[in-house]
Copies of this chain bind each other. A is one copy, B any other.
């Protein structure tokens, strides 16, 4: 059987109406929204075909039609009219970004929250390192007789630092020596390698300095481990309760705790595409079988990518979400993508 233009148009109407109302759509309602005069009987014939072809489903014999996963897929691929964010929305997004995000390492942490409130669906965010993060440079700053600051500059151009206390007196000269040691032996390598080197040095370095060294290396190691562990930030999980498909507390709970807890299994974009839509059963995780996910990626600094995902019922408003999410991701890329391109003296605002 062939998928005529009229069939497509009917599928489009059913999908859009269902996205809005969450209730099965009947032949009469469709007839009213069809251009030209077509009777509901004709529509019924077409509907029967569309069910047979697998694009639509019927909750029960005497109910209207609902798009199947296959139907949504066709809708998203071919039928959907791609929206652009309105000026108002654009402003809202820009305002949200300008107000909140100033520090580089907060980008990802905030992105989930922000995406959620901008889209009206739960969202999550992760950072993805293109290359393994290493330490680029160490710096030790004397603070008082028994404390100093360890500054660690990472290869993704984030800088981390912490105050450290000692039980022995330190002079600037010692700190200089040790930071030399650190910069010579502990840059550009992984956390396990660091520990290896530390072992090797344990004989060569005096006991008391070794403790200091150890403290800094451990700190740096933690930072690397932390950077490697893909931490997932979620936001607005409670938004799903707005949707009738999750009125049942058990279903809602299942999805919510999946989003918040089984962070490892959240879908991540594959390949190079900057945006991806996963519909219902296309998701690998069982908990997402009845939900859809829209994912986008953006650049952070030079070798890091951020990922944002928006979760909703399969009935989610793909057109709007896609438009907003892609604008959001593009804005983020523009703001945090390539620091060196900023005009002179200007800071990251707007």
Residues of A within 8 A of B (CB): 102-104, 137, 139, 141, 143, 149, 151, 153, 157-163, 165, 167-168, 211, 215, 218, 222, 236-238, 241-242, 246-247, 249-250, 252-253, 256-257, 260, 339-340, 342-345, 347
A153 with B159, Cβ < 8 A, contacts A218-B347, A249-B252, A252-B241 known: no
Q: Using A151-B141, A342-B165 as known contacts, say yes or no to A215 and B347 having CB atoms under 8 A apart.
A: yes
| A262 and B247 alpha carbons, distance in the complex (Å) | 23
CB < 8 Å neighbour of A340 from B165, B246, B253, B260: B165
Q: Which residue of B lies closest to A349 (CB)?
A: B218
When chains A and B are docked, how far (Å) is the Cα of A103 from the Cα of B168? Answer: 22
Q: Which residues of the partner chain B approach A253 to less than 8 Å between Cβ atoms? A: 238, 241-242
Count this chain's copies in the assembly.
2
A132 to chain B, nearest CB (A): 19
Question: Which 6 residue pairs are nearest across A and B when measured between Cβ atoms?
Answer: A167-B344, A238-B256, A241-B253, A211-B345, A159-B161, A161-B161
Best-surrounded residue of A104, A246, A252, A345 (most CB of chain B within 10 A): A345
Say yes or no: B238 contacts A249, CB within 8 Å: no
Tell me the complex Cα distance, A160–B163, Å: 10
A141 is contacted by which of B139, B158, B340 (Cβ under 8 Å)? B139
Q: Point out the residue from B139, B167, B222 that lies within 8 Å of A149, measured CB to CB.
A: B139
A168 and B342 CA atoms in complex are apart in Å by 13
Chain B residues, CB < 8 A from A222:
102-103
Chain B residues positioned under 8 Å from A252 (CB to CB): 238, 241, 249, 252
Give Cα A257 to B237, complex, Å: 9
Shortest Cβ distance from residue A235 to the other chain B in the assembled complex, whole angstroms: 8
Closest Cβ of chain B to A44, distance in Å, is 34
Interface CB pairs A-B, < 8 A, 17? A141-B151, A149-B151, A149-B153, A151-B161, A159-B161, A165-B339, A167-B343, A167-B344, A218-B347, A237-B238, A237-B256, A238-B253, A238-B257, A241-B250, A241-B252, A249-B252, A252-B252
User: Roughly how many angstroms separate A345 CA and B207 CA in the complex, as a whole number?
Assistant: 11
CB atoms of A159 and B149 under 8 A apart: yes
Return A116 CB to nearest CB of chain B, in Å: 9
Interface of A, helix, strand, loop or mixed by DSSP: mixed
Q: How far is the CB of A234 from chain B (nearest CB, A)?
A: 10
Of chain B, the residue at the smallest CB distance from A260 is B238
A134 to B247, CA, bound (A): 48
Q: Which residues of B contact A162 (CB under 8 A)?
A: 103-104, 159
User: A215: which B residues are within 8 A, CB to CB?
Assistant: 345, 347
Q: Which residues of B contact A250 (CB under 8 A)?
A: 241
Roughly how many angstroms separate A208 CA and B301 CA in the complex, as a whole number? 25
Bound Cα distance from A252 to B102, whole angstroms = 33
